[in-house]
Amino acid sequence: MRTHVTLLSPPARGKRSSPGISSVLPGDLFDQVRGRLRLLAGFFVIAFGVDLVVFTGAWFVASISGRPLPEEVWVTRWSQWGNLGAVIASGGLWWVARDARITPSRLHLLGLVYQVAICFVISISTYWSFYLTHQLLPNMTWVPAVVIMFPLILPGPPRRMLAAALVAAATGPVALTLLDVTHQIPVDIDSYVQATIGPLVAAGFAYMAASVVYGLGREVAAARELGSYQLVERLGEGGMGEVWRARHHMLARPAAIKLIRPVLVDGAPQPVTEHMVARFEREAQALASLRSPHTVDLFDFGVADDGSFYYAMELLEGLDTEVLVRRFGPVPAERAIHVLRQVCHSLSEAEARGLVHRDIKPANIFLCRYGEDYDFVKVLDFGIVKSTHGGGMRTPALTRETTVAGSPAFIAPEQAMGDRTVDGRADIYAIGCVGYWLLTGQFVFSADNAMSHLMHHINTPPAAPSTRTEMPIPPALEGLLLSCLAKSPNDRPQSAKQLLRALDQVVTAEPWTDDRARAWWAEHPMGHG
């Protein structure tokens, strides 16, 4: 996706002050590395701890029984200090790696220092204890394995990884020298050669492994470049595309990226033509011009080289009304009115600009904390928006759609029949379906498949919401929702503004106030959506 067409000019990209490791590796990949580093540290805690526990246990039993420790155990007593140091260092790294406040670059550097320290402990304890037990030096240690392992667990720039691998490889000769000059063990030239060649070969393999892993990581990072944005984490996937958490290269504020897959013909994506790009630009410019505070804010848009169109939007904190009802049950009538009024505010402006959403459903109505406001609604996903100002000109589809656009449980009868003259009254019908869902926790019609849903919307009169819930529903609100669900567009409220005015006239037993909304959100804190 590295080649792209950005249709809104981004700010000029300057030189980043401190790119670090995470600037060239995807954030979610580095998060995996963080977990792997903790796993490795935990492994070494156990590996070094077992020998330490066995020695301590044997010493304790010998002290209680008054018998001396076996000679082969006693001679390893000094190397247990190295085991203890390795356990403490490994436990400390495990604890530090869990702290998300530690920057990726700092954690990476700490991991490389840990690699060298562990290799030194392995070298000196192995040579010392093996000589004391067998009166000769081992042909090899575990240092080469550790040197090769680290680039696979902790990917980084190949040169940096090579430097760390060479320092780690040198711990063998350094340990032998230290033991020799302190007269702990005698060391000849052959021992130095054996202690050097294996780790040096391992350092070469480590460099090759680092080059491959780091290169793959950079390719993934580059593939996630869209205009001025870097894709960080996939938040969701639907029939038409994916939604990603993203960050801007220059700005601190995060964003949500909606990728819309290219149209498919016989299972193969079709090339993006200049005409399609021009149409996408016109439609995206129309969406970007919407200024209702209840319409999700569009930052940028463009075309990736795989034919995917993308929107960069504000990242919101909260949950959509589908999750709201599924998790917490139907909402009181006054809260439903509060939500529907804000949806109407968004759609009223869209109508004025000749835009029909065509996919109003609970999943596209996002309830959030927005600054100091609570229960603030944002209408999402104008992904299959239709302009009613097209003058009847027929143009190729930009997105992968089925014959019928929309969601079967919330689709207007005229949409279900494939009517090409659909207007804003289809969105009014969908608002009626959403209101029904908010009040009852049920779809207007129960069906086993999409086609049955469509046939019900076309032919079946809806049951009154009050017959499908025990919660009180004001008769005026019930009548208004049933009018929204009329089969004929002419029998519904004729615009979002008209529906908004009708909602304002509904009287409830208790209003939904800012204090009630704030109290609800305090009781049910949400993360990012």
What would the pLDDT profile of 111-163 be if each residue is shown by its tens digit? 899 999 989 988 888 888 888 778 888 888 889 999 998 888 877 788 888 99
Percentage of residues of the chain with pLDDT beyond 70: 76
Number of neighbours of residue 289 by Cβ within 10 angstroms: 11
Residue 359: active-site member? yes
Kindly report the three-state secondary structure assignment for every residue of 239-298.
Answer: CCEEEEEEEECCCCCEEEEEEECCCEECCEECCCCHHHHHHHHHHHHHHHCCCCCCECCE
Strand partners, 318: 368
Q: Which of 297, 295, 406 is nearest to 344 (CA)?
A: 295
Q: Which two tokens stand for residue 342?
A: 């804000």
Element (H, E) at 198: helix 189-223
State the angle between helix axes of 143-153 and 158-169 in degrees (0 to 180), rounded to the nearest 10: 160
Q: What residues contact residue 119 under an 8 Å CB cut-off, 6+ apart?
A: 143, 146, 147, 168, 169, 171, 172
In contact, 24 and 221? CB cutoff 8 Å? yes
| The pLDDT value given to residue 340 | 95
Q: Which CATH class is domain 318-523?
A: mainly alpha
- For residue 492, what pLDDT band results from cuts at 50, 70 and 90? very high
Catalytic residue among 51, 320, 359, 427: 359
DSSP, collapsed to helix, strand or coil, labels residue 502 as helix
- For residue 391, what pLDDT band results from cuts at 50, 70 and 90? very low
| The pLDDT value given to residue 159 | 87
Q: Which of 133-147, 178-192, 476-490 is most confident?
A: 476-490
In contact, 336 and 473? CB cutoff 8 Å? no
Query: Tens of pLDDT along 16-38?
Result: 333 455 545 555 555 567 777 88
- For residue 49, what pLDDT band results from cuts at 50, 70 and 90? confident
Whose structure tokens read 């490791």? 21
Q: Compute the distance between CA of residue 209 and CA of residue 207 in angstroms, rounded to an integer.
A: 5
Q: Compute the distance between CA of residue 224 and CA of residue 243 in angstroms, rounded to an integer.
A: 12
Q: Which two tokens stand for residue 437?
A: 């869902």
- For residue 105, what pLDDT band results from cuts at 50, 70 and 90? confident
Element (H, E) at 225: strand 225-226
| The pLDDT value given to residue 430 | 93
| The pLDDT value given to residue 438 | 94
Q: Which of 231-240, 277-286, 338-347 is most confident?
A: 338-347
Kindly report the three-state secondary structure assignment for every residue of 10-34.
Answer: CCCCCCCCCCCCCCCCCHHHHHHHH
Residue 405 to residues 133, 275, 310, 515, Cα–Cα distance (Å): 78, 22, 19, 39
| The pLDDT value given to residue 13 | 38
- For residue 3, what pLDDT band results from cuts at 50, 70 and 90? very low
Q: Give the predicted TM-score (pTM) of the model.
A: 0.58
Q: Compute the distance between CA of residue 410 and CA of residue 457 in angstroms, rounded to an integer.
A: 9
The pairing of strands 309-314 and 241-248 is unpaired
- For residue 399, what pLDDT band results from cuts at 50, 70 and 90? very low
In contact, 261 and 308? CB cutoff 8 Å? yes
| The pLDDT value given to residue 271 | 59
Strand partners, 248: 229
Q: Compute the distance between CA of residue 178 and CA of residue 173 in angstroms, rounded to an integer.
A: 9
The larger pLDDT score, comparing residue 192 to residue 228, is at 192
Give the chain's mean pLDDT: 78
| The pLDDT value given to residue 213 | 76
pLDDT of residue 475 exceeding 90, the answer is yes
| The pLDDT value given to residue 12 | 37
Q: Sheet with 318-320: list strands edge to edge.
A: 318-320, 365-370, 373-379
Backbone angles phi, psi at 176, to 5 degrees: -65, -40
Q: Which of 500, 503, 482, 501 is nearest to 491 (CA)?
A: 482
Q: Which of 90, 185, 56 is nearest to 129 (CA)?
A: 185
Query: Tens of pLDDT along 401-429?
Result: 434 456 888 888 988 888 777 888 999 99
Task: Please tell me the CATH superfamily of domain 228-314, with its number.
Answer: Phosphorylase Kinase; domain 1 (3.30.200.20)
pLDDT of residue 221 exceeding 90, the answer is no
What single letter denotes the amino acid at residue 318? G
| The pLDDT value given to residue 392 | 35
In contact, 223 and 1? CB cutoff 8 Å? yes
Query: Tens of pLDDT along 306-326?
Result: 666 777 778 888 888 999 999
In contact, 118 and 44? CB cutoff 8 Å? yes
Query: Tens of pLDDT along 250-262?
Result: 666 677 777 766 6
The larger pLDDT score, comparing residue 330 to residue 393, is at 330
Q: Which of 221-235, 382-396, 480-494 is most confident?
A: 480-494
Q: Compute the distance between CA of residue 128 and CA of residue 131 in angstroms, rounded to an integer.
A: 5
- For residue 527, what pLDDT band results from cuts at 50, 70 and 90? very low
Q: Which of 401, 366, 99 is nearest to 256 (CA)?
A: 366
Q: Compute the distance between CA of residue 385 and CA of residue 382 in angstroms, rounded to an integer.
A: 5
What single letter denotes the amino acid at residue 61? V
Query: Tens of pLDDT along 60-100?
Result: 777 787 777 666 565 566 667 777 888 888 888 888 888 87
